[in-house]
Structure formats: structure tokens, C-alpha cells
Amino acid sequence: MAPRSKPDWQVDLRAGIKTDNGNGWSVREHRNGHVQLTRIYPDRTRSACYLPISWARENSLEIRNWVVRVAQLMHERDISLSKAVELRKAFENAGGVQGASEQVFTDEGWQQAAEGFLVTLSANRPTTQKDTRLRVQKALLTLAAKPKPKSGEEVLRRYAALHFHDQNGNVIVAPGKNGRKRGLEDVERFLRFAVNSRGAPTRFLPPADPLVKQELIGKAALSAKEELTLPIKPEEISSFLDWLQENNKPELRLAVGLVAYYGLRKAELGVLRPEKGRLYVGMNVKENARTRSKGERKARLAGALAIEGRPANEAADILAQFESGLVKLPKAIRNQIEMVPKKGHFQDVGDTFGQMVRRTEWWKQFKQRNPEITENSFRHGWAWRAHCCSGSGSMPIRVAAAMLGHSTTTHQRFYGAWVDEPTLEAELERFNAGVATR
């Protein structure tokens, strides 16, 4: 076998750099005896810099670590190779990885960085701020846990281990779901802020390799179709409305009737405007910083879909009761609506409605038979009726989406996609009955 043209340590060093950072990175000895680092970009252009390290076998690990940190700086701060090397030199001159400057970022420093980071979220929705604040607090607990993580990747991995499972190892944040994705994204944003704006060591920058985060997020056990919220069928809504009437709960029956007949989001009970037999729904329940910047959105007209087996004018009667004040929403819901200006969000309006529904004996028994049903199933039930429960055919998707207050894409993906076997069989029978055969 022909001998290697390069010493083993150089071959191993270059292979390690490729493993760490992917293609496009190379090192060699410059004539001054130091390391020359070259970055080759996808368009085949390149740039090169000299590292303050001697080209020697004993410096292999240091060279490899330098390249990793320079690559991270370029990726995270979107800067040139020369600038990244410059920043890394400045850091080394201030003490280096093993020096004092790496050790001075204490728990107090992380706490101050967290406070500064949370201030930057003031334009976000209150619910988003609340969720992010909770994740940052979990990140602080992760950073303080012993043994303390020493890099951004270690922080993410320890965060996942501590907060995606309980003390017994049981999963509490499902793999592949938004809970994991958003949690890790918020931790990454916090770490970048701490490094870029509060002087945390650069080793705490999130890993440049996206596979790390993908691994921690994992894959959902269920398919997208299996994750769809199940709709409440007409006969089930009818049974619940009758139960509420028989058990003398007119206020909760009003709330359930409005949500079921008009396909409302739970929190939209706080933004209803009845007007001469029509129901208009404010569009500020789902606002975020991006939509608020576009100005106030026009209230949408909500439409009542008939429920098979119910009185033809029941939806109109429920709306008339609400408009006249003859029957009011439950006091607990009205209290939450009154507190919206102070809280700055509508979430508690919907949560209170859901809590009141779940406490009824009818719902408890219904939930035992149908564990995947939620209070959001009333809204999904409206979409199901729009497409499957009329002898005159399916409602156009653009109309149904407009009345529910979301895009046609959202409607098709989450609201108009659910179907069960009885519906499939009924549609086949209806179609075949209309085809002339012999």
C-alpha cells in the first residue's frame, strides 16, 4: 500500500474539521509557521485568514476548536471570516477559553441577560411573552443545574433532558410537536442575545449544526391526519344543549349555543357584536405583533349552520336572547371579558368557557367515551357540518374559511380534512345513487 502523502495527524485534523463544520473548510501551514484557515463558499469563491496558532501536531485539538468557533461566529452573527477570526482573537487576548474571562459569567450574569432579553419581547402578544418567559426561566434552571453546561449545545441537550421529561423519565412534551420546537427556539434566541449583547462566552452560542435541534425535537408519533381535532357531531351537540336546558343552565347553554352554531373560537365570546339578527366577530383575539402593525382588522360576519334534528330557528333565538340581554353569558366569562383591557389578552375568556364545559356531568361522561374530543371540537364541528351535513352539497371552502376567520390553507389543513368511515360510506352511497347504471 502506498504511504500517505501527509502525516497522519494532518489527515485526521482535516477529516475532523469536515465532520465538525461540513464541506468548505480547509487548513494548511503558512510560510510563517502559523495556520492558514480557508473558507470555500458554495459559489467557489473563497477567503482566508491566519490563526495565531503554530502548525504542529500538539496543536491539532486547538486548531479544530478554533475552526468550530469561527464557523459558529460567522453563522450566528452573519459576519465575514476575517471579522470572526478578529473577534475570536480578541476573546483569546482577554483570557481565552480556559482563562478567567470564560468563568466570570455567573448565575447573576445569566439572570441579568434573561431580564434584558425579555425586555426585547415587549411587542409580542401577551400570551407569547408569557410562554417565552417560562421557557427562559427553565433555561436559567438548566444553566444553574450541576454539572453546569459548558456550551450552547450542552444547554440545549440539558434543557431537553430536564424539561421534556418528568423526574421518572416520562415524556411531558411530546416529540415532534410545537412545544419542543418553540422551547428550543426560545432558548437559542436567549443564548444568542446573552452572547451578542451581554458578553456571555461565545461557546454558549447555539450549535451551527441544525441536526442537533432536529434530534432533540424528535418525530411525532402520530401522523398529521391523526392529530386533527375531532368534530362534535350534530347529535352530540343536540344532546348537550338538551342536557343544559334540563339542568337549568341557561347562561352556559347560551355560550355553548353561540360557539357551536357559529363556529367560534372559545375566546371569541369576548369579541361578539350582535346587530339586527347578525353576529359580527372581532378579529383581535388572534392578534400578534405582525398583524397589529397592519392596523385594526374588520370584524367578520359569522354564520349559523343548522344542526340536524334541532328547531329551525334555534340559532336565531339564541342570538336574539344574547342581543337583548334576556340571557347573559355566564358571570365567570363576563368577568374575564371585563379584565381583558387590563390583561391585554383574551385567552382567559376561552379558558374559562372550556373549564365550565369540562365541569358538567354530561361532558365528563362524553369525554370518557371520546377521549380525543376537546372544547375546540365545537368549532371543528361547524366545519364538518359545512362540508358533510347538507343535502344541497358542501359549502365552498373560501366561504367556510371566511366565516371561521382563517385562511383557506388553514381550513383545508386543520378544519376541512377530518373524515370518518360512516361519512365516507354515506358519500359513496350518495354519489352512486346519482349515477345512472343498468
Instruction: Give me the residue spans of the domains in the chain.
Output: 8-97, 107-217, 234-431
| Segments of the chain scoring below 70 in pLDDT | 1-4, 76, 91-105, 123, 220-228, 287-296, 389-393, 413-438
Q: Is the domain defined by 234-431 classed in CATH 1.10.443?
A: yes
Distance between alpha carbon 107 and the CA centroid of its chain, in Å?
28
CA dist 96 and 150 (Å) reads 14
pLDDT (0 to 100) of residue 203: 86
State the Cα–Cα distance between residues 280 and 33, nearest whole angstrom. 76
**Nine cell digits for residue 235:** 347529535
For residue 123 the three cell numbers come to 411587542
pLDDT in tens, 372-394: 888 999 998 888 888 876 666 67
* Residue 1: HSE in the Cβ half-sphere, 13 Å Cα cutoff: 3
pLDDT value for 42: 83
pTM over 0.85: no
Closest CA to 273 of 238, 306, 300, 308: 300
Q: At 370, phi and psi to the nearest 5?
A: -135, 75
**pLDDT score, position 89:** 79
Separation CA 333–CA 161 (nearest Å): 38
Task: Decide if 63 contacts 51 (C-beta within 8 A).
Answer: yes
Q: Write out the three cell numbers for 359.
A: 365541569
Quick check: helix, strand or coil at residue 233? coil
Which residue matches cell numbers 484557515?
37
Question: What is the distance of C-alpha 163 from the center of its chain?
Answer: 16
What residue spans of 94-125 are helical by DSSP H? 107-119
C-alpha cell at 25: 473548510
> What's the pLDDT tens digit per position in 129-154?
888 999 999 999 999 988 889 899 99
